[in-house]
Amino acid sequence: MTVALFTLGGTIAMGGVGKGAPGGGVVTRLTGADLTAAVPGLAGVGEPVEVHDVQAVPSASLTFGHVLDLLDSASDAVAAGATGVVVTQGTDTLEETAFLADLVWPHQAPLVFTGAMRNPTLAGADGPANLLAAVRVAAAPQARELGVLVVFNDEVHAARWVRKTHSTSTATFASPDLGPVGHVIEGRVRVLGVPRRPDPLFPPAPGAASPSGVPSAPDVPSVPGAASSPAGSLSARLPRSAPGPAVFDRARLAATRVALYTLSLDDDGGALEALAAGHQGLVVAGFGVGHAPAVSAPVLGGLAERLPVVLTSRCGSGSVLRETYGAVGSEADLQRRGLINGGLLDPYKARVLLRLLLASGAGRTEITEAFARLG
Give per-residue pLDDT as tens, 246-301: 446 678 899 999 999 999 999 999 999 999 999 999 999 999 999 999 999 999 99
Q: How far is CA 256 from CA 226, 232, 249, 313, 375, in A?
A: 21, 20, 11, 23, 21
What mean pLDDT is predicted for residues 320-342?
A: 98
Output the pTM of the full model.
0.88
Mean pLDDT of 346-372: 96
Q: Phi and psi at residue 33, in whole multiples of 5°? A: -65, -40
The whole-number average pLDDT for the span 9-38 is: 76
C-alpha 183/C-alpha 140 separation (Å) is 12
Handedness of CA 86, 92, 95, 97 (dihedral sign): negative
Using one digit for the tens of pLDDT, what is the confidence trace for 123-144? 999 999 999 999 999 999 999 9
Pairing between strand 148-152 and 155-158? antiparallel
> What confidence category does residue 16 fall into, taking pLDDT thresholds of 50, 70 and 90?
low
Report the C-alpha gap between 158 and 7 in whole angstroms: 20
SS3 164: strand
State the pLDDT at residue 98.
98
| Cα 359 to Cα 364: distance, rounded to the nearest angstrom | 13
CA–CA dist 341, 321 (Å, integer): 8
DSSP conformational letter for 294: G
Query: What pLDDT is attached to residue 251?
Result: 84
**Pick the catalytic residue: 11, 88, 114, 172?**
11
- Quote the pLDDT of residue 255: 93
Confidence of residue 160 (pLDDT cuts 50, 70, 90): very high
Q: What are phi and psi of 60, to 5 degrees?
A: -65, -20
CA distances, 219 to each of 79, 165, 240 (Å):
8, 34, 20
168 is catalytic: no
pLDDT band at 211 (very low <50, low <70, confident <90, very high): very low
Residue 30: other Cβ atoms inside 10 A: 23
Residue 184 C-beta-side C-alpha neighbours within 13 Å: 23
| Burial of 177 per CB tally in 10 Å (0-12, 13-18, 19+) | middle
What is the pLDDT, as a whole number, of residue 198?
82
pLDDT of residue 29: 79
Element (H, E) at 53: strand 49-53
pLDDT of residue 111: 98
DSSP assignment, residue 56? -
The interaxial angle of helices 364-374 and 347-359, nearest 10 deg, is 140
Is 154's pLDDT higher than 50?
Answer: yes
- What integer is the mean pLDDT of 360-373? 95
Report how far residue 297's alpha carbon sits from residue 328's, in angstroms, rounded to the nearest whole number.
7
Q: What is the CB-side half-sphere exposure of residue 140 using CA atoms within 13 A?
A: 23
